[in-house]
RNA sequence: GGGCCGUUAACUCAGUCGGAAGAGUAUCUGCCUUUUAAGCAGAGAGUCGCUGGUUCGAGCCCAGCACGGCCCA
């Protein structure tokens, strides 16, 4: 049998155990963080002497320069990275046994004073060295790091260990969510949690995942949106609510889509979609300031500014000024279809006019919207939950927000007329029967809630992954999701059928 | 779903015209008590993604499949 690196390290680990050194001890009292010590070297270097003070830190070894009876090791904790110097005549016999078997990747506890090396680096002079966890597998190479995207996503822990940018991305994502919570908390919104498993999936046009409840013997759907439940809460008198949580949509994966993704949705009684647009500008500026310390930043080589006021254009207007469609084209269905064909925009000729207009918008206008832009007044056919415009009943009091060519948010004055809502659902059911798999289901229970009365309300959804992409300059959604969805690893498939695999 | 590209040692990558599988890092052995991708001497390490085909001979050419990346739908 050939010895792998795993075998060799395991042997060394077992040899330590025979020497009475536990390679996987329980706990460790960590007295200091690396950033704390490095801050002291900046602020009070004169206080650091060979006599003291003594610091105690713990971390993972990232590099070892060994000289036989001494070594420089680089190690890191959650706060940073620093160097330690270990020499035989400064530590006890047990520690020297550990020292001789150290590998990059091991966790150690170190106690000692701080000194400056000949080359000027502040370094911990170890008086105690404790093995805290033996690493059996080699880490990726120190200079080239881990690059293979597949490995980075499947084994995100390696990516986090090796690539500081990855770590920073996810720390920043966490700050974004925290900033959003503080924004809504400050405005007296209540954070709530609504069902992720729903008997009728609603609130968006999307194909759901299905599952089955055994004890109740009923189908349940992973939610595609929390919308209809949040509005029931507004009916219930919770006038300002928000939820930040996962939605699930059974569609393809791409650099912009993951089957599960995070949405912020909030509902605000007595407000309109105009209020939402104002609030959204404030919200995004607040988040950018909290997270980046600025409202202007670079995204994929383009400068994006959150400074207001943002452009607000109606969809029809945008199609004319940006999409290059004449007014008469938008008013005549046949001309519209001809226009779509002339622009090579694939459309379903049987679809209702509002759907075709939206397709044209997606293809011709959306990619052009780099700076934050609200597009408002969506056709009623594609907005089954939005209030109708009083002036033009074929349009709705709805907008979407686009930044860097991506849809980031979707908001509207909510439809609270129960009879209109029932009619819209019936139209959706007809669309579904006509083959539109993403059309809404009838939700009588929701209509009943509206019959009790929902105050005039405005509500909005914000794609948190896409916002995180913007603020971390990520080109792919996989860079801002810790464990993005992947197919079965090729190695897992051989000789082992997936449980629900379709016969092909 | 379609197009293009990729898959070679633990990691990052070479591999020419089809003719004996390579480098650096990591690992192992020896030396080495202030290094900065430490150094010196030596060693081990491969299902070249998988299956089949063409060929005297395939990492390389062809086909199918798997996984991944980018673009399009």
Residue with nearest Cα to nucleotide B69 C1': A149
Average pLDDT of span A467-471: 97
Tell me, yes or no, whether A397 lies in a domain: yes
Whether the CB-CB separation of A500 and A204 falls below 8 Å is answered with no
Of chain A residues 45-74, which have a beta carbon within 7 Å of strand B?
A: 63-70, 72
Is A496 a residue whose pLDDT tops 50?
no
Q: Across chain A, how many H-helices and E-strands are there?
A: 16, 18
Q: Are residues A109 and A184 part of one domain?
A: no
For A404-417, give the DSSP string. TTEEEEEEEEBP--
Q: Are residues A380 and A257 part of one domain?
A: yes
Q: Measured in angstroms, what separates residue A362's CA from nucleotide B72's C1'?
A: 14
Whether the CB-CB separation of A123 and A82 falls below 8 Å is answered with yes
Q: Measured in angstroms, what separates residue A494's CA from nucleotide B55's C1'?
A: 30
User: Within 7 Å: CB of A363 and strand B?
Assistant: yes
Tell me, yes or no, whether A357 lies in a domain: no
Tell me, yes or no, whether A339 lies in a domain: no
Per-residue pLDDT, A293: 97
Per-residue pLDDT, A49: 80
Reported confidence tier of residue A276, pLDDT bands at 50, 70, 90:
very high
Domains held by chain A: number: 2
User: Within 7 Å: CB of A404 and strand B?
Assistant: no
Give, as ranges, the nucleotides of chain B with any atom within 7 Å of a protein CB: 1, 10-13, 24-28, 31-38, 44-46, 49, 66-73
Tell me, yes or no, whether A337 lies in a domain: no
Give Cβ neighbours of residue A133 (< 8 Å, ≥ 6 apart): A23, A24, A106, A107
Q: What is the CATH number of the domain that holds A22?
A: 2.40.50.140
Nearest alpha-carbon partner for A346 in A358, A359, A357: A359
Q: Measured in angstroms, what separates residue A459's CA from nucleotide B29's C1'?
A: 69
Per-residue pLDDT, A484: 95
User: What is the spatial distance between Cα A39 and Cα A50, in angstroms, rounded to a whole number?
Assistant: 18
Q: Are residues A217 and A124 part of one domain?
A: no
Q: Are residues A235 and A119 part of one domain?
A: no
Reported confidence tier of residue A278, pLDDT bands at 50, 70, 90:
very high
Last residue of a domain, one of A84, A104, A139: A139
User: Within 7 Å: CB of A377 and strand B?
Assistant: no
Annotated binding residue A400:
yes
Whether the CB-CB separation of A226 and A245 falls below 8 Å is answered with yes
Q: Are residues A189 and A93 part of one domain?
A: no
User: What is the spatial distance between Cα A89 and Cα A68, in angstroms, rounded to a whole number?
Assistant: 12
Is A495 a residue whose pLDDT tops 70?
no
User: What is the spatial distance between Cα A411 and Cα A242, in angstroms, rounded to a whole number?
Assistant: 13
Whether the CB-CB separation of A315 and A203 falls below 8 Å is answered with no
Per-residue pLDDT, A493: 38
Average pLDDT of span A127-141: 94
User: Within 7 Å: CB of A501 and strand B?
Assistant: no
Q: Are residues A241 and A107 part of one domain?
A: no
Is A371 a residue whose pLDDT tops 50?
yes
Q: Are residues A317 and A232 part of one domain?
A: yes
User: What is the spatial distance between Cα A321 and Cα A323, in angstroms, rounded to a whole number?
Assistant: 6
Tell me, yes or no, whether A316 lies in a domain: yes
Q: What is the ipTM of this complex?
A: 0.91
Q: What is the CATH number of the domain that holds A212?
A: 3.30.930.10
Q: Measured in angstroms, what separates residue A2's CA from nucleotide B57's C1'?
A: 29
Reported confidence tier of residue A490, pLDDT bands at 50, 70, 90:
low
- Model confidence over A29-75: pLDDT tens digits? 999 999 999 999 999 888 878 887 999 999 999 999 999 999 999 99
Is A499 a residue whose pLDDT tops 50?
no
Residue with nearest Cα to nucleotide B67 C1': A490
Per-residue pLDDT, A497: 35
User: Within 7 Å: CB of A502 and strand B?
Assistant: no
User: What is the spatial distance between Cα A407 and Cα A392, in angstroms, rounded to a whole number?
Assistant: 25
Q: Are residues A281 and A410 part of one domain?
A: yes
Q: Are residues A125 and A218 part of one domain?
A: no
Of chain A residues 136-175, which have a beta carbon within 7 Å of strand B?
A: 137-138, 140-151, 153
Q: Are residues A107 and A184 part of one domain?
A: no
Tell me, yes or no, whether A360 lies in a domain: no
- Residue A242 CA from chain centroid, whole number: 17
Provide the residue range defining the domain that includes A284: 162-322+365-487
Alpha carbon of A123 to those of A47, A60, A84, A415: distances in Å? 14, 16, 5, 65
Reported confidence tier of residue A350, pLDDT bands at 50, 70, 90:
confident
- Model confidence over A158-202: pLDDT tens digits? 999 999 999 999 999 999 999 999 999 999 999 999 999 999 999
Whether the CB-CB separation of A134 and A115 falls below 8 Å is answered with no
Q: Measured in angstroms, what separates residue A160's CA from nucleotide B9's C1'?
A: 24
Q: Are residues A480 and A392 part of one domain?
A: yes
Whether the CB-CB separation of A230 and A267 falls below 8 Å is answered with yes
Tell me, yes or no, whether A346 lies in a domain: no
Per-residue pLDDT, A224: 95
- Model confidence over A194-247: pLDDT tens digits? 999 999 999 998 999 999 999 999 999 999 999 999 999 999 999 999 999 999
Q: Measured in angstroms, what separates residue A232's CA from nucleotide B61's C1'?
A: 65
- Strand ranges for A223-354 from DSSP E: 240-248, 260-269, 296-299, 302-305, 311-314
Q: Measured in angstroms, what separates residue A151's CA from nucleotide B15's C1'?
A: 24
Sheet containing strand A240-248, edge to edge, reads A190-191, A240-248, A260-269, A457-463, A406-413, A398-403, A373-376, A311-314
Annotated binding residue A407:
yes
Per-residue pLDDT, A409: 96
User: Within 7 Å: CB of A85 and strand B?
Assistant: yes
Tell me, yes or no, whether A307 lies in a domain: yes
Q: Are residues A199 and A97 part of one domain?
A: no
Of chain A residues 241-270, which have a beta carbon within 7 Å of strand B?
A: 252, 254-255
User: What is the spatial distance between Cα A107 and Cα A23, in angstroms, rounded to a whole number?
Assistant: 10
- Strand ranges for A67-195 from DSSP E: 70-77, 80-87, 107-116, 122-133, 190-191
Average pLDDT of every residue of chain A: 92
Sheet containing strand A218-222, edge to edge, reads A197-198, A218-222, A210-213
Q: Is A340 helix (H, G, I), strand (E, B) or coil?
A: helix
């Amino acid at each position: 049998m050939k010895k792998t690196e795993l075998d060799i390290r395991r042997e060394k680990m077992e040899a330590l155990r025979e020497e009475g050194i536990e390679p996987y001890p329980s706990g460790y009292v960590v007295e200091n963080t690396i950033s704390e010590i490095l801050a002291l070297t900046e602020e009070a270097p004169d206080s650091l002497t060979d006599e003291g003070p003594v610091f105690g830190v713990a971390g993972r070894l990232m590099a070892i320069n060994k000289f036989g009876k001494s070594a420089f090791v680089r190690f890191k904790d959650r706060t940073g990275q620093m160097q330690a110097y270990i020499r035989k005549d400064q530590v006890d016999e047990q520690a020297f046994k550990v020292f001789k078997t150290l590998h990059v990747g091991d966790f150690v506890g170190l106690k000692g004073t701080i000194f400056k090396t000949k080359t000027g680096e502040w370094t911990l002079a170890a008086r105690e060295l404790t093995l805290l966890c033996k690493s059996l597998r080699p880490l990726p190479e120190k200079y080239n790091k881990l690059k293979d995207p597949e490995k980075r996503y499947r084994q995100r822990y390696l990516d986090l260990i090796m690539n500081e940018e990855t770590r920073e991305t996810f720390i920043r994502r966490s700050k974004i969510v925290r900033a959003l919570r503080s924004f809504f908390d400050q405005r007296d919104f209540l954070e709530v949690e609504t069902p992720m498993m729903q008997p009728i999936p609603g609130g968006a046009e999307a194909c759901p995942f299905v599952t089955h409840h055994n004890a109740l013997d009923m189908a349940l759907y992973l939610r595609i949106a929390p919308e209809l439940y949040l509005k029931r809460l507004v009916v219930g008198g919770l006038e300002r609510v928000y939820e930040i949580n996962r939605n699930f949509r059974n569609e393809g994966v791409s650099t912009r889509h993951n089957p599960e993704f995070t949405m912020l949705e909030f509902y605000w009684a007595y407000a309109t979609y105009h209020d939402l647009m104002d609030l959204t500008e404030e919200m995004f500026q607040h988040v950018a300031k909290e997270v980046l310390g600025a409202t202007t930043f670079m995204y994929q080589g383009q400068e994006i500014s959150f400074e207001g006021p943002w452009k607000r254009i109606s969809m029809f207007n945008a199609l004319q000024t940006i999409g290059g469609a004449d007014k008469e084209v938008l008013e005549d269905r046949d001309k519209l279809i001809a226009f779509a064909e002339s622009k090579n925009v694939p459309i379903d000729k049987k679809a209702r006019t509002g759907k075709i207009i939206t397709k044209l918008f997606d293809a011709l206008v959306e990619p052009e919207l780099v700076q934050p832009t609200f597009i408002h007044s969506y056709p009623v056919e594609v907005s089954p939950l939005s209030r109708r415009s009083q002036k033009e009943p074929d349009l709705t009091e709805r907008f979407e927000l686009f930044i860097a060519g991506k849809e980031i948010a979707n908001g509207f004055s909510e439809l609270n007329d129960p009879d209109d809502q029932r009619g819209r659902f019936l139209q959706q059911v007809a669309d579904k029967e006509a083959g539109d798999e993403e059309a809404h289901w009838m939700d009588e229970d929701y209509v009943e809630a509206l019959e009790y009365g929902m105050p005039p309300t405005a509500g909005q959804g914000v794609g948190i992954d896409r916002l995180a992409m913007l603020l971390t300059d990520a080109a792919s959604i996989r860079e801002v999701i810790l464990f993005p969805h992947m197919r079965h690893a090729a190695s897992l498939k051989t000789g082992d059928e997936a449980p629900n695999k379709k016969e092909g």
